[in-house]
Amino acid sequence: MTSTIDPKPTLAGDDTTEITEHVVRNGDIHVAYFVQGNPTGETILLTHGWPDTHHLWDGVTPLLRDRFRLVAIDNRGAGKTTNPKNFRDFRLTEMASDYVAVANAVSPDKPVHVLAHDWGSAASWEAICDPELEHRFASFTSVSAPCASHMSKWVRARLAHPTPKNLALALGQIGSVLYMLAFGTPGLPNLLMKLLVNETRWRTGLSIGEGAPAEQIHLGPTFSSDITRALRVYRANAIPAVLHPEDRYTNVPVQVIVGKRDPAIRQSCYDDEPIWNKQTWRRVLDGGHWLPFSHPQVLAAATVELIDAVSGKPPARALRRSEMGKSRKPFEDHLVVITGGGSGIGRETAREFAREGAEVVLSDINLDGAKETVALIEQDGGIAHAYQLNVADEAAINAHADEVFANHGVPDILVNNAGVGAAGGFLETPAAEFKRVIDINLYGVVNGSRAFGAKMAERGLGGHIVNLSSMAAYSPQQKFSAYSTSKSAVFMFSDCLRADLATHGIGVTTICPGIVHTNIISTSKISGVSAEEESRMQQAGDKAYAMRRYGPEKVAKQIVRAVQKNKQVVPVTPEARLQYLNNRVAPGLGRFFASKGGMTDLMKLIPGQKEGR
């Protein structure tokens, strides 16, 4: 193996956006590769599949080049690399030898990191699983393509134990890759590609299928020839990979990334990777096959996290929870942010998430209450952090979000729980009181969703937002206009937010508690009555709610379950579910009873506590 490299060096201090073209000779193949980024940084090799070129990574490289030296390779038959005459020269081992040649040329004395996609990933597996070559690689991030031998072994293992589940998994994966046999047929696929596919159609189709803007579909100038020339990779590898799998092990740290909607590769086919790899992480994204186009930020971040971890830095939370072969609690290595966590439903929700392994950041306008919740969590062996926050203050919640990002990272789950109770006739409720309720109950949710949701969407890993509404959102009644309006607005806001964030993989759950005994009743402002009567009614209402014997811990369990199952709307308590159904089937019935009386009328009938009790 001999190599020749463009003699122009890229010196430290040069513009990291400059791209220099180089060639290394591997036997009869002249392998083209393109260098950019920080010349003093660690080297990342970027490889691609069919029908792409090194331009596949054009959306990812800008996110990495300030820190790393990036070397993007054109595969055989693609871009500026030699197009072999014989289809056998497209075998994975031959392609892998090209990558090794480039690695030896650009970093002869130090291992390189690899970020690979599709056939580029399948070929990279051949190199990192070669005991004589694995020392050349520091880490491997494999996108949308498993090791061919690993997948074949996985299918055979399922068929050897033909339970209904195993058969479904194996046959499903086999069905997903049958197209490879068709693509490997001589002649016809090439003709169809020439007749039916052009750059515009391909870009449009990928944009629709992958959910990525057309401008993020980066195709090379040689696309029209690459799409037919590089098809021979299927003929060279499809059948051998199935018929002749080998035991392929590696000590290289491996991170596999797959899309939920990948039509060719299913996440389950990676289930046995811990058998073959010393250490494996698996990330499943809400995307298709061409993740470099749809999720460039996620791929860049994931690659950096793995490189940092193998370099000795503490692994990032997202990487920790992706490690395969380890048992963990449902929300272990998840960050949960909860507002109004100093008491009631917020406190119990924080404790429940902590029991399930989450690290919790909780806030409350009452800092002492928040600290008490943290103490309870720590007594149970959990991790939690307390902050003081007025959710009605947009500037304060934005500053709080920035502090959380800096100290703890971007949350995986946000629970907008903070709220206040309020009662009293509309005409007796001062405008300032009405606004106070709206500001806390509605705008607290809006402010929190905006402050944290933006970062969650930008991160690209999905997440979940829980908004606390109420049965009052769909239960009209007298003397609850401010409270019911605020909670009804939260309900509709959540429906709209769910639609807006769906493309980011962020779920939204609306929780609608019914009669739940918390301190919200005893602290509710009741307009239109004297202070003495307000106190009596608060005590009476609290007593009535206590008699219901439905505590906030039950709501907390339903919140956690709703996040696990990505439920959209969860009425909590039987009466909340019954009224939710009634409001859909016979809403006029609820309006009729609302005109006859309300909760405050019942509160007036309940005797207050005697003095001294």
Q: What percent of the chain has pLDDT over 90?
A: 74
In the block, tokens 């790899």 appear at 277
- Of the listed ranges 334-343, 355-364, 587-596, the one predicted with least confidence: 587-596
Tell me which range, 14-23, 372-381, 428-437, is most confidently predicted by mean pLDDT. Answer: 372-381
Q: Specify the pLDDT at position 500.
A: 95
Q: Are 503 and 211 in contact (CB under 8 A)?
A: yes
As annotated, the active-site residues are: 483
pLDDT confidence of residue 337: 98
Residue 200 above 50 pLDDT?
Answer: yes
pLDDT at 90: 95
Q: In angstroms, how far is CA 158 from the centroid of its own chain?
A: 29
Q: What is the pLDDT of residue 538?
A: 66
Average pLDDT for residues 96-100, to the nearest whole number? 98
pLDDT, position 291: 97
Q: What is the mean pLDDT of residues 569-583?
A: 87
Residue 318 sits at φ, ψ, to 5 deg, of -65, -35
| Confidence grade of residue 587 (pLDDT, cut at 50, 70, 90) | confident
Q: How many domains does the chain have?
A: 2
Vertex 346, ends 345 and 350: CA angle to 5°?
A: 115
Same domain, 165 and 298: yes
Q: What is the pLDDT of residue 7?
A: 39
603 pLDDT exceeds 70? no
Q: Any idea what DSSP says for residue 323?
A: B
Beta bridge partners of 33: 22, 73
Is residue 510 within 8 A of residue 490, CB to CB? The reply is: yes
Per mean pLDDT, which range of 309-313, 334-338, 505-509, 578-582 is the poorest? Answer: 578-582
Residues recorded for the chain: 613
Domain ranges, residue 542: 335-605
User: pLDDT band for position 546 (50/70/90)?
Assistant: low
| Confidence class for position 21, pLDDT limits 50, 70, 90 | very high
Residues 385 and 266 in one domain: no
Tell me if 474 is assigned to some domain: yes
Which of 32-36, 482-486, 578-582 is modeled with the greatest confidence? 32-36
Instruction: Tell whether 282 and 425 lie within a shared domain.
Output: no
Report the share of the chain in percent with pLDDT over 70.
92
pLDDT digits (tens, 9 = 90+) for 557-573: 999 999 999 999 999 98
The tokens of 54 are what?
């090194």
Are 399 and 367 contained in the same domain? yes
* Cα–chain center distance at 513: 28
**Residue 326 counted as domain residue:** no
Nearest-angstrom CA–CA distance, 37 and 300:
14
Residue 598 has a pLDDT of: 58
CATH of the domain at 551: 3.40.50.720
**How far is residue 7 from each of residues 21, 98, 273, 303, measured CA to CA in Å?**
10, 20, 41, 29
Tell me which of 102-116, 239-253, 278-292 is least confident: 239-253
What's the token pair of residue 289?
Answer: 């096959």
Check the CA dihedral 452-142-224-195 and report its sign.
negative
Query: Could you read off the pLDDT of 393-448 as tens digits, one per residue?
Result: 999 999 999 999 999 999 999 999 999 888 778 888 899 999 999 999 999 999 99
Residue 264 lies in a domain: yes
Residues 377, 251 share a domain:
no
In-domain check, residue 233: yes
Where does a domain end: 262, 297, 320?
A: 320
The answer to whether residues 292 and 423 belong to one domain is no
Q: Does residue 3 lie in a domain region?
A: no
Which of 29 and 550 is assigned the larger pLDDT? 29
